[in-house]
Structure 1
């Protein structure tokens, strides 16, 4: 049985069209999270972020994180506890923005904060500290890996 060249062209075109439709269908169902919903505004204010990172160099060793079975232990020490100190901690999951959450910084009497992490998804998390001390803004980022 001999197949004419017209049928071969039509079969080839049909397979190509089916492949394109399949790729469009798969791409429409794929969830793509942006790093931030307001990335344009953050891009404009990026110099502020650079300044906050430079300010934080003096405090990078004053915030210690330790992952224990009971949760994440954060120890604030030194000059950080003196004066007016407030802010928040953002737990950032790059693979799924729906899992991100924020916690206020609470130093307590001894400068130790405990955050339960047993219910968090296993894997890499970025812990971002945004705080204000003596009317100056700071930003510090640490990584933790939950098993």
Structure 2
């Protein structure tokens, strides 16, 4: 049986469409390829964008800013010495863009020093996004950072 060029093109298109459909179905059905949104209720989150920008500007305007650093035993969040630790109230959220299951939040609670250590056991290696929201002296602040944990 001889196949002409028109039949060959139709066969090539059919094979290509089958190849693409296989991958689309595999990605949609396999839980390994999780395609979730980073933030639930994206549109509700977007409505408060101007307030978020004001809090980020407040944090940017500080002369001495909190420092988030990766240590061997975990993540350290250190506020400047001129901040009173008992007046700092807020939360720090850790987001893992690749998997929502690893996301968690921790309260900003300090004993005597204005430093907080989050143990390394709570993290898996890779890129993390940190959103730290806090209030101090009647003002709201927001700090966003990206870190990499080995």
Aligned pair partner of 1:51 in 43, 50, 54: 54
- How far did 1:12 drift? 4.1
- Give the TM-score normalised by structure 2: 0.80
- Give the TM-score normalised by structure 1: 0.82
What root-mean-square deviation, in Å, do the aligned CA atoms of Structure 1 and Structure 2 show? Answer: 2.5
Residues 14 and 126 of structure 1: is their aligned pair in 2 closer, same or farther, counting only changes over 3 Å?
Answer: closer
Give yes or no for contact 2:86–2:111 (8 Å, CA) kept in 1. Answer: no
How many residue pairs get aligned? The number is 147
Unaligned runs of 5+ residues in structure 2 are none
Give, in whole Å, the separation in 1 of the partners of 2:73 and 2:113.
18
Unaligned runs of 5+ residues in structure 1 are none
Post-superposition Cα deviations, 1:64-89, rounded to whole Å, max 9, x if no partner, equal 22322222222222443277320001
- How far did 1:140 drift? 0.6
Residues 77 and 17 of structure 1: is their aligned pair in 2 closer, same or farther, counting only changes over 3 Å?
Answer: closer
Comparing 83-92 with 6-15, greater Cα deviation is found at 6-15
Q: Which residue does the alignment assign to 2:76?
A: 73
**Aligned runs of 1:15-54 on 2, under 5 Å?**
15-29=15-29, 30-54=33-57
Residues 139 and 81 of structure 1: is their aligned pair in 2 closer, same or farther, counting only changes over 3 Å?
Answer: same
